[in-house]
Amino acid sequence: MRIIDVLNRDFVIADLKSNEKQGVLEEMVSDIASKINGIDREMLLDVLLEREKLGSTGIGYGVAIPHGKMKGINHIIVTFGKSTKGVDFQSLDGKPSHIFFLIIAPEDSTASHLKVLARISRLLKESVFRDKLMSASLRDDIYKIIVDEDRKV
C-alpha cells in the first residue's frame, strides 16, 4: 500500500505550533477531526496516548510515527506534520522529532495498518527524503515531495 493511497494533500500540516508531545498529537487530531465528519476527537486522542504509553513512536532521526486503531472508522487515515523547532517525543535516539506521520486504522485492519507503517518507515530511512521534507515550507511542496518519493519505491 502506498502512502499516496491514504494521505490527502489537505492532511499535511507544514508548521506544527506545539512544542510538546501531547500538544502535537492534539494539534494533528484536531486537524483530522475538523476535516472528517464523525471522528471523535477525544477518542482518537485517547487511542494515540494509550499507544504512546506502550512505548514512544518516536523512531529516531527526527521522525515520529504515532499510530493506533480506532472503532468507527472504515479506512486508514494518514496525516503529516512538520515541526521546524522539534519536539521531545521521547525518541529512541533521544533527539527531538521534526517529522510526524500519524496513522489511524480501523480496529480490524492489522495487515493494511502494518503495511502503511512499514512503507512510511522505509521511506523515512532515507536522509535525503527527510532533508527534503525539512527544507519545504509549503503544504503543496511537502505533499509533492512525499508523492514523488512514494512513487520511486
* Region of 90 on the Ramachandran plot (φ > 0 left; ψ -120 to 50 alpha; else beta): left
Predicted confidence band of residue 150 (pLDDT cuts 50, 70, 90): very high
Instruction: Please give the sequence-ordered ranges of beta strands (E in DSSP) within the chain, or none if there are none.
Output: 7-13, 58-60, 63-64, 67-70, 77-87, 97-106
Residue type, 18: S
Going along the chain from its start, the domains and CATH numbers come out as 3-152 (3.40.930.10)
For the residues 114-125, what does the mean pLDDT come to? 93
Alpha-carbon span 94 to 117, nearest angstrom: 21
Q: Residue 22, SS3? A: helix
Tell me whether residue 98 is one of the annotated catalytic residues: no
Q: What is the pTM of this model?
A: 0.95
Query: Of residues 67, 75, 98, 113, which has the active-site annotation?
Result: 67
Q: Distance of CA 111 to CAs 70, 82, 124, 146, Å?
A: 15, 27, 20, 22
How many Å separate Cα 26 from the centre of its chain?
A: 12
Whether pLDDT at 153 is above 80: no
Residue-wise pLDDT tens digits, 19-47: 999 999 999 999 999 999 889 999 999 99
